[in-house]
Structure 1
């Protein structure tokens, strides 16, 4: 029974309107046919008695008149029966045609009535956290539909203000916190650098505090990048080669790769995958992906990198080996402060913002991030971006 219910069509407003208008049209057509039949039957009864007086006047013999009348009455009864049958068949055909026409007209009228609502729904679906500045701006008279569209526009305006205030707060707080962090780091350096001998416990505590301060500094930097990425406009847009960008990220981390004994497989880092965007943000995106691949990898592991064109997208894929991961947990890594556990935290920043920054940068450029747990173990990070054609002489 449950499967049968799931197979039924959804009871949409248009379907209900179509049924309502169809029934109204069908009832109107049926009423018109009934009235037509009543009028036709009435006129037939009148025509039955009309010839009688004329026939009696034209025949000189009463017997001949009766015979003539009986003959005409039989012919008239047959004609009336034939007419009634034809009228019944015609009415049935007309009713069937009217039922079909009623459904078609009901659907058309329901579609015209609901067209403004469909326009509002489609426009609302296009608006997300990245384009809250857009408005429905539905034209037309001041009716219920216009009031609904104006109400949604007012809601979007309040949401835009709220999101902007949140992003400004994150950016301003991150900037303001950098000053006390720098002061604390300088105070530690001054305390450790005094001429008199410093107790080993103090040196160890200072090193631990520096590590924590660096961690907080990286966390604030991540907040700043997220706030800038989600704010919207990208000022330094240019043609970027994904292959060159990820190659630069690998070269910058060559020492870390060697220290961990990792093997890098570069399937395809040619100039085929180009996109348009912010050089700074796309470089940060590649850095975060490579950092994640190095940090959350085991000693002597491997990294596979590819930058290609995949249909309508420029594709950057970074894969790593390791233990088998849970796909549900992997899917949450694109959200801030999500991790897979202490065994994958490693010695990196461990802030839980790395892949969320990657997702935000990809989204700001019109792309997306796909995280998949490899069946044989490890993680596959795939970034899709809108492609552009590479031009000769354009630097990466």
Structure 2
């Protein structure tokens, strides 16, 4: 059986196609070379006998021998000239055909390798946010087709793995809400009993309730992160970033007052509009404002601005404070990453705030930029595609 497979005709492989194409091109080049050389040779192969030679009028043996000698000399000269012309014409024809063969070979190779360039460009374009796309390269069943199908299979497995991970996070976060609610209700019932409750029990219940609230916020962050990464943008609308920022500042007005923070919001414009999920964009801005309030010194300041520049709408939030390390700021966009205990308020929160901001911005075609201010503090800039406001 194996011998029969070896004796079978090879398939239409790329190697075979290259061999056939380049062999045909060089064969045609050789034929052209020989044709040109023969045409040049035939054009210059006529031997002329000198006219008016007096020896031709003397039909004697000496005259015949003299004529034969002259013809031999003339034939030798013509052979030498013909060989020189043939050599020159062959060199010229070879140079011309070499150039033509290189040009034709480059064109043909480009056409043959075009699917590989398509695969490379498509693979670079596909990322974790568009794993549903496939290469779907058409053509014969050769090495290029096998490579494209292999990459498509890899993308399919990656898409399934990412989807399973996101579903697990969302399902686990949702299922954990029920026992948390049960635990919180049990604490409330235990504290609300008619008989006197010991002070230690009340203190323990308050501490447990605080931790339950923290876990609840963590689960809420998980759900938001999973929903953002899953691309669930069902409530798309044209939204004013300036109004969303103003609403977020009003919601945190009590916390701002408690910490004695000064808010500079004179640069909040109503011209910065974008399209996307109202829920996710509101959560994104809330997280940015919450980060600026939580990780700030008492009596500090916050500068908030919304701008529209060309095709980009931006939300910019700056805070004062200590000088931060720019190299470490990139970690803040990852889940559960913080700058350490020396940062103000770093013992609060779940570590998902800015990672949710980055995920929401990416889901809407934007990005998050974290920049350490030279004089101290942090500058958070969220860039989103600009959209025209409602008529």
- What TM-score bracket applies, with the shorter chain setting the length? 0.7 to 0.9
Kindly report the root-mean-square deviation, in angstroms, between the aligned alpha carbons of the 2 structures.
Answer: 3.6
Gaps of 5+ in 2: 1-16
The 10-residue stretch of structure 1 (230-239 or 63-72) with the greater mean CA deviation from structure 2: 63-72
Deviations 1:229-275 (A, max 9, x none): 11123111000011111121112112222222222223532222111
Deviations 1:193-222 (A, max 9, x none): 334443333332222212211111100000
The 10-residue stretch of structure 1 (256-265 or 228-237) with the greater mean CA deviation from structure 2: 256-265
Aligned residue pairs total 373
Could you say what secondary structure the match of 2:289 adopts?
helix
Could you say what secondary structure the match of 2:305 adopts?
strand
Alpha-carbon distance between aligned partners in 2 of 1:84 and 1:373, rounded to the nearest angstrom = 81
The 10-residue stretch of structure 1 (198-207 or 270-279) with the greater mean CA deviation from structure 2: 198-207
Contact between 1:22 and 1:103, CA under 8 Å: does it hold in 2? no
Match of 2:7 in 1: none
Match of 2:299 in 1: 300
1:281, distance to aligned residue in structure 2 (A): 0.5
| Moved >6 Å (runs of 4+) | 20-24, 38-41, 43-48, 55-58
Match of 2:281 in 1: 282
Match of 1:8 in 2: none
Alpha-carbon distance between aligned partners in 2 of 1:44 and 1:328, rounded to the nearest angstrom = 78
| Mapped pair 1:114 → 2:113 | yes
Deviations 1:292-314 (A, max 9, x none): 11112222222222211233221
1:170, distance to aligned residue in structure 2 (A): 1.0
1:346, distance to aligned residue in structure 2 (A): 0.9
Match of 1:9 in 2: none
Contact between 1:116 and 1:145, CA under 8 Å: does it hold in 2? yes
Go from structure 1 to structure 2 and tell me whether the alpha carbon gap of 1:58 and 1:352 turns closer, same or farther (over 3 Å shift).
farther
Deviations 1:55-110 (A, max 9, x none): 98775355655666666666555555554444434433333333333332222112
Task: Write out aligned runs for 1:243-282 (5 A).
Answer: 243-266=242-265, 268-282=267-281
Match of 1:337 in 2: 336
Match of 2:11 in 1: none
Go from structure 1 to structure 2 and tell me whether the alpha carbon gap of 1:271 and 1:89 turns closer, same or farther (over 3 Å shift).
farther
Go from structure 1 to structure 2 and tell me whether the alpha carbon gap of 1:153 and 1:352 turns closer, same or farther (over 3 Å shift).
same
Could you say what secondary structure the match of 2:342 adopts?
helix
1:187, distance to aligned residue in structure 2 (A): 1.9
Match of 1:150 in 2: 149
Match of 2:90 in 1: 91
Go from structure 1 to structure 2 and tell me whether the alpha carbon gap of 1:306 and 1:313 turns closer, same or farther (over 3 Å shift).
same
1:184, distance to aligned residue in structure 2 (A): 1.4
The 10-residue stretch of structure 1 (262-271 or 106-115) with the greater mean CA deviation from structure 2: 262-271
Alpha-carbon distance between aligned partners in 2 of 1:148 and 1:347, rounded to the nearest angstrom = 49
Match of 1:10 in 2: none
Contact between 1:249 and 1:290, CA under 8 Å: does it hold in 2? yes
Alpha-carbon distance between aligned partners in 2 of 1:254 and 1:348, rounded to the nearest angstrom = 21
Go from structure 1 to structure 2 and tell me whether the alpha carbon gap of 1:345 and 1:76 turns closer, same or farther (over 3 Å shift).
farther
Go from structure 1 to structure 2 and tell me whether the alpha carbon gap of 1:102 and 1:286 turns closer, same or farther (over 3 Å shift).
same
1:276, distance to aligned residue in structure 2 (A): 0.5
Go from structure 1 to structure 2 and tell me whether the alpha carbon gap of 1:139 and 1:39 turns closer, same or farther (over 3 Å shift).
closer
TM-score, with structure 2 as normaliser: 0.82
Match of 2:390 in 1: 391
Alpha-carbon distance between aligned partners in 2 of 1:158 and 1:245, rounded to the nearest angstrom = 39
Could you say what secondary structure the match of 2:298 adopts?
coil
Task: Write out aligned runs for 1:229-248 (5 A).
Answer: 229-248=228-247
Go from structure 1 to structure 2 and tell me whether the alpha carbon gap of 1:389 and 1:44 turns closer, same or farther (over 3 Å shift).
closer
Match of 1:13 in 2: none
| Mapped pair 1:139 → 2:138 | yes
Contact between 1:333 and 1:356, CA under 8 Å: does it hold in 2? yes
Alpha-carbon distance between aligned partners in 2 of 1:261 and 1:82, rounded to the nearest angstrom = 105
Contact between 1:215 and 1:349, CA under 8 Å: does it hold in 2? no
Match of 2:361 in 1: 362
Contact between 1:218 and 1:349, CA under 8 Å: does it hold in 2? no
Go from structure 1 to structure 2 and tell me whether the alpha carbon gap of 1:270 and 1:59 turns closer, same or farther (over 3 Å shift).
farther
Go from structure 1 to structure 2 and tell me whether the alpha carbon gap of 1:310 and 1:46 turns closer, same or farther (over 3 Å shift).
closer
Go from structure 1 to structure 2 and tell me whether the alpha carbon gap of 1:71 and 1:390 turns closer, same or farther (over 3 Å shift).
farther
The 10-residue stretch of structure 1 (91-100 or 322-331) with the greater mean CA deviation from structure 2: 91-100
Contact between 1:319 and 1:380, CA under 8 Å: does it hold in 2? yes
Match of 2:350 in 1: 351
The 10-residue stretch of structure 1 (227-236 or 216-225) with the greater mean CA deviation from structure 2: 227-236
| Mapped pair 1:171 → 2:165 | no
Task: Write out aligned runs for 1:364-383 (5 A).
Answer: 364-383=363-382
Alpha-carbon distance between aligned partners in 2 of 1:27 and 1:142, rounded to the nearest angstrom = 27
